[in-house]
Amino acid sequence: MSWSADRYEIVKRDDARLIYGQVFKLLNLFIIIAGSGLAIFAGDFFFIMTDPSFYSASSFVPFLVLCYLLKIYSMFCNFGIMLEEQTRYMAESAWLKAVVAILGYVSLIPAMGIYGAVFSLLISNFVEFFWVNRKSIRLYDMKLPWADVAGMIALASVLSFVSMFFPIGDWSYFFMRVSIFIVLCLSLFMLPIWSVEEKAMLRGLLFKLPGKGLSH
């Protein structure tokens, strides 16, 4: 929440775009880990908390995670619009999203059911993000490292997809999913997208936050 205010102070610095890129990568790292955890263990959650008629709902979770990831991108990438106070573009994106969502619901839900609803939400969130990012870049380009983020998303998507092939309700398969999640976390840290400074920041976050919690 503090980032919404901090970014206006950072823009005054000479290395503002470097900081924006680092924060964006770190934000994606933690969000992708959290989202992947939801996608990988959704089936186990439904198995414990619901009856068998709801188990199939876990297959929608990865798509919903992508929906909210796009929503977060829209919020992060609107900086140029907010900086230059061109908020009409935010209204335009909201209307575009609403139109696309309604068209999707009307056309896809009758044919695809709940999958139609999920895909409509995914498409409408992408349209919102595309419009906000496009307009914002024209006003102030943060030079975000999209290629690095795409690599993280691709890795997380592949491993999350693999985990969905393991049946739920069996402890051996649950521990296989745990292993996949651990491999994903380690692999994200080991990707060749992190600079020496960023790796130091990551180590500091990992070891400093628990210490702060204990100190309080």
Q: What integer pLDDT is reported at residue 214 of this predicted model?
A: 39
| 213 vs 209: CA distance, rounded Å | 6
| 166 vs 188: CA distance, rounded Å | 22
Q: What integer pLDDT is reported at residue 166 of this predicted model?
A: 84
Please give the chain's pLDDT, 216 residues, in tens. Answer: 778 888 999 999 999 999 999 999 999 999 999 999 999 998 888 888 888 888 888 888 999 999 999 999 999 999 999 999 999 999 999 999 999 999 999 999 999 998 999 999 999 999 999 999 999 999 999 999 999 999 999 999 999 988 888 888 778 888 999 999 999 999 998 889 888 888 887 877 777 655 554 334
Q: What integer pLDDT is reported at residue 208 of this predicted model?
A: 63
Q: What integer pLDDT is reported at residue 54 of this predicted model?
A: 84
Collect contacts of 182-188 with beta carbons under 8 A, ≥24 apart: 183/159, 184/33, 184/36, 184/40, 184/155, 184/156, 184/159, 184/160, 185/33, 187/155, 187/159, 188/29, 188/32, 188/33, 188/152, 188/155, 188/156
Q: What integer pLDDT is reported at residue 213 of this predicted model?
A: 46
Q: What integer pLDDT is reported at residue 209 of this predicted model?
A: 54
The candidate with the shortest Cα–Cα distance to 136, out of 72, 87, 71, is 87
> In the chain, what are the domain boundaries?
1-64+143-216, 78-141
The candidate with the shortest Cα–Cα distance to 44, out of 190, 197, 167, 203, is 167
DSSP 12: T
Q: What integer pLDDT is reported at residue 4 of this predicted model?
A: 81
Alpha carbon distances (Å) from 171 to 44, 56, 162, 175, 213: 10, 19, 17, 6, 32
